[in-house]
Chain A
């Protein structure tokens, strides 16, 4: 073990796929937030690959309970710290998109409504990767998974993903943000900002899944960057009803540049590319409009 890796709060040698973007994200989360945290983790890839008994990669206190209850467990941790008079430790709840968008959504909404002191981070790899690549509510339109298959009648996922950050923000929580593993300075700034605040804070981080999307692990960060450049993922934050686009993809870049390198989109034909491009541009227009209404001074 090198001296550098000794400094990491997540030990090296995880059991994830080579080039796994969510694993990279965990390292960034731990090292950015520091030692004074308690991690609550939902069942998922990041739980399985870091805690195989008798080993654990976590050098910070860590608890995994179930798939759908991580937000409520985190509320309990937060309440216990409050009861003990601890007002410094950050409770960090980490879930994949399956637990965040789907099975744990009720508990997450409850956490938001109560505004409990929890920093919730979703590693958004757009599918149930741990069970072998099934469709989640975060799986993008058109993507093939084992439960949104391409056949003679149906051609991958038929609905767009849930706008989870906007849904989170609609609960009037202090901070809801969207980030990407490819934009580390932006990610770190959001993590630190979220950590410094009180109440329920939400950050979802795009972390492409080489297994689920079907690409070589060496391309994880490149694809994450392309998603933002092609308007298929956005970097923004919402506070007090005001939205700030942290990166403005002003120039339209064809969505194919992101889609083409992934097996889950290999079946797509030109009409669907056009539809995805239209969705991407519409999302950009919507968020840009919100951004401009929120910060008129920044309008050029």
Chain B
């Protein structure tokens, strides 16, 4: 174990380097740029094998499609507009069952233009067939990216590791980064059974007629749902080796809690801190950090959230409808008479501090299902 003091971008890049990807292709976009720079730094010093400085994010993901199809371990990082530019290729990578790992440094989407954090970018890609893991701090980001390679390579599904832009990518703190020698204890080499090989020719990405198309999509859907087991298994294995265990979600003082805030990403460290403060006042509050948004652990959430009073907090929108995390939590809790409120906001880098979170706990105590914007904090308006 090596404890270092550095920002999230550098920490993640070092973890990726320790996983020894064969093909790395990157294009700069704030706030993921430092990850690309670090990966190039490793390449320049001979610590990684390749670095393709592509001319767009669309080509970054496309190069990884080619790389992964040739049996290589692949990595890229992007944000916001870059992720949106990749949209078409994201479906394609998942459909071709290519185990690509990508870090998304979450950022708002244009218009208006904003370089600051929210999760509208990755949430808008939730139906592309990728596994999506959300991290609440940089330790989780480092650990998740290491696990992501094995999750991807054993399920043959691409994995998006989502970390909040600026809040995590640019935040400096102490992070435990397993060195390459220790990563090897948990991450086996990538040895695909099917890849582009002149010794054993096969065709990938073929055309299908109505007689076959749906079966391919059905398989992808079912395998994505089943990947929950692998995510849990690999999270446990990681815990055995490094004493930090991961699963589909993290329960925090949940068992006896009556009032629970559910969310994902960096805001959840603030929610946990708020839970601690309110618990000191003997309030029965708790938190649930949803690490795995795709596949969505519907059944598992139903078991632990039924009967509690829930507030869903999220930095995203589904324009013209209800926000994505809220609708899926409601779907999971169907028929359980659980009261679920929706709180959305914190968009474009607007802070969600403990004062704002306390207000949300206060609100759900009314036991009325609310759907509202998170109130603006003093000092945010300028």
Total count of chain A residues near the partner, CB < 8 A: 45
A77-B66 Cα distance, complex, nearest whole Å:
5
The one of B53, B69, B206 that contacts A52, using a Cβ cutoff of 8 Å = B206
Query: How many Cβ-Cβ contacts under 8 Å join chain A to chain B?
Result: 160
Q: What B residues does A59 contact at CB under 8 A?
A: 201
Nearest CB on B from A17, distance (A): 17
Q: Taking the complex as formed, is B285 at the interface, i.e. its CB lies under 8 A from any CB of chain A?
A: no
Question: 0/1 per residue, B193-209, Cβ < 8 Å to A?
Answer: 00011101111111111
A133 to B291, CA, bound (A): 49
Closest 6 CB pairs of A and B: A76-B66, A110-B55, A76-B63, A80-B70, A72-B62, A69-B62
Q: Contact: B92 with A38, CB < 8 Å?
A: no
- Complex Cα distance A52/B205, Å? 10
Contacts of A110 in B (CB 8 A): 54-56, 59
B window 30-81: CB within 8 A of A: 49-50, 52-56, 58-60, 62-72, 74
Given A69-B65, A77-B67, A82-B49: A37 touches B72 (CB 8 Å cut-off): no
Which B residues lie at the A interface, using CB under 8 A? 22-23, 25, 49-50, 52-56, 58-60, 62-72, 74, 88-89, 92, 96, 196-198, 200-209, 212
Contacts of B206 in A (CB 8 A): 51-53, 56, 64
Q: Closest residue to A47 on the B side, CB-wise?
A: B207
- Whether the Cβ atoms of B92 and A63 lie closer than 8 Å is no
Given contacts A64-B205, A72-B66, A74-B66, contact A84 B72 (CB under 8 A): yes
Give the chain B neighbours of A51 by CB distance below 8 A: 203, 205-207
The answer, yes or no, to whether A48 is at the interface (CB within 8 Å) is yes
Q: What would 21 A/B residue contacts be, using CB atoms closer than 8 Å?
A: A36-B198, A51-B203, A52-B206, A59-B201, A62-B196, A62-B201, A63-B69, A63-B205, A65-B62, A69-B62, A69-B65, A72-B25, A72-B60, A72-B63, A76-B69, A79-B52, A79-B72, A80-B72, A83-B72, A84-B22, A84-B72
Contacts known (A75-B54, A76-B23, A106-B56); A65 close to B66, Cβ less than 8 A: yes
By a CB distance below 8 angstroms, the chain A residues around B23 are 76, 79-80, 83
Q: When the two chains form their complex, are residues B207 and A114 in contact, meaning their CB atoms are under 8 A apart?
A: no
Q: How far is the CA of A275 from the CA of B160 in the complex (A)?
A: 56
A76 to B195, CA, bound (A): 13
How distant is A67 from chain B, measured CB to nearest CB, in Å? 9
Known: A35-B198, A75-B63, A80-B70. A107 touches B58 (CB 8 A): yes
Chain B residues within 8 Å of A54, by CB:
212
Nearest-Cβ distance from residue B258 to partner chain A, whole angstroms = 50
Given contacts A36-B198, A65-B89, A69-B62, contact A75 B205 (CB under 8 A): no
Contact A63 B204 (CB under 8 A): yes
A82-B50 contact given A60-B201, A63-B69, CB 8 Å threshold: yes
Closest Cβ neighbor of B211 among chain A residues: A53
What mask results when residues 38 to 71 of chain A are scored 1 for a CB within 8 Å of chain B, else 0? 1010000001100111101011111111101101
- In the complex, whether A89 has a CB less than 8 A from a CB of chain B is yes
* CB of A31 to closest CB in B, whole Å: 14
A11-45 contacts to B, CB under 8 A, are: 35-38, 40
With A52-B209, A69-B59 as given contacts, are A76 and B203 in contact (CB-CB < 8 Å)? no
Q: Is the CB of B207 within 8 A of A83?
A: no
B-side contacts of A76, CB under 8 Å: 23, 25, 52, 62-70, 72, 74
Question: Bound complex: CA of A60 vs CA of B201, how far in Å?
Answer: 5
Give CA–CA (A286, B22) in the complex, Å. Answer: 45
A62–B204 Cα gap in the complex (Å)?
A: 6
**A107: nearest residue on chain B (CB-CB)?**
B59
Is the Cβ of B65 less than 8 Å from the Cβ of A48?
no
On chain A, the residues within 8 Å of B22 by CB distance are 79-80, 83-84
The complex places the Cα of A34 from the Cα of B196 at a distance, in Å, of: 15
Assess the B207–A38 pair: CB atoms within 8 A: no
- Residue in B52, B196, B212 whose Cβ sees the most chain A Cβ within 10 Å: B196
Pairwise interchain contact B63-A79, C-beta atoms closer than 8 A: yes
Query: Among the interface residues A66, A83, A84, A113, which one has the most CB atoms of the partner chain B within 10 A?
Result: A83
Best-surrounded residue of B56, B60, B89, B198 (most CB of chain A within 10 A): B198
| Bound-state Cα–Cα, A299 to B63, Å | 44
Q: Is A126 an interface residue (CB 8 A)?
A: no
Q: Using Cβ atoms and an 8 Å threshold, which residues of chain A touch B66?
A: 40, 63, 65, 72-80
